[in-house]
A and B are shown apart, each in its own frame.
Chain A
């Protein structure tokens, strides 16, 4: 399985646009900025909803209203983050594939976080109908919050496991 991923990584890293990103002084930071702008929207709106599910913050709007207000921008943020992230990955794919922090981030915690986020977003309609959220909503919001902190932990740990 690893050899399949490595073959894919080698091919991806050799594409003209991946070589352009890795070979340019300016392109890499621009792609990184795209990734971080998307993450700001995605993580920022996720944290706002999770903290609201936890019952923290002003209660002028309930969790259901907040979730609805942020819905499209939340997912647009993920789309931009994935686009930027894929381009960053492509520029050094063979270094990322064997990196344990990257494997944990992409293989376990991001899928887990997205699945739980979809559940929280769906459930926010009933959990967040009133200003006081039920215990299960608080628990679910807390778990999602911890998963995204773990994703960030894995992301900032990637250079520590860089063997090249």
Chain B
């Protein structure tokens, strides 16, 4: 993996991308916007499941409406994140907090996707059993944790 990171960092396209101020900025904007879209839409669905948001809205309709934006946000964050990672691949790879970030984000995405799936297939239901509400709370807490770990990466490891 370290060899791959070293190769990635030395790749001529990545070097060109990293030296281009405008493109680096565009990648950063894409990353933040995608992350906001991903977390925002997931949080709304989680909050609806817990009965805290849009109580008049049918949860399945809300999840259907927001699901494409959740995946759009994910695609934007992943695409831009890969190139942002590539520019300092070795440093990121060696930073513990970056590894924690990847793990927490992956778990959060799985939890969020499962929640969307569950809610989309809930038909006319307006409320959910306690177990599903707890699942939504876990998904929400995981995303807040993902944000916290993400901001810890540059704050503690100095990378990014």
Contact = CB atoms under 8 A, between A and B. Distances in A.
B65 A60 contact: yes
Interface in B17-34: 25, 28-29, 32-33
B40 A44 contact: yes
Interface string A68-88: 111011000100000000000
B69 interface: yes
A119 B17 CA distance: 38
A61 B61 contact: yes
B40 A25 contact: no
A156 B28 contact: yes
Interface string A140-152: 0000000011001
Interface residues of A, number: 38
Main secondary structure of the interface of A (DSSP, over half): helix
B26 to A, nearest CB: 9
Contacts of B62: 61, 69
Interface stretch (B1-9, B109-117, B128-136, B145-153): B145-153
Given A40-B40, A58-B64, A152-B29, 16 more contacts: A25-B155, A33-B148, A36-B36, A37-B144, A40-B35, A40-B43, A41-B40, A44-B36, A44-B37, A44-B43, A47-B36, A48-B41, A60-B65, A68-B56, A69-B62, A73-B43
22 contacts: A29-B152, A29-B156, A32-B151, A33-B148, A36-B36, A36-B151, A37-B147, A42-B40, A43-B37, A44-B37, A44-B38, A44-B40, A48-B65, A57-B68, A60-B65, A65-B57, A66-B65, A69-B56, A69-B62, A70-B53, A73-B43, A152-B33
3 tightest CB-CB pairs across the interface, nearest first? Answer: A44-B40, A40-B39, A69-B54
Interface of B: 25, 28-29, 32-33, 35-41, 43-44, 47, 53-54, 56-57, 61-62, 64-66, 68-69, 73, 143-144, 147-148, 150-152, 155-156
Interface of A: 25, 28-30, 32-33, 36-37, 39-45, 47-48, 51-52, 57-58, 60-61, 65-66, 68-70, 72-73, 77, 148-149, 152-153, 155-157
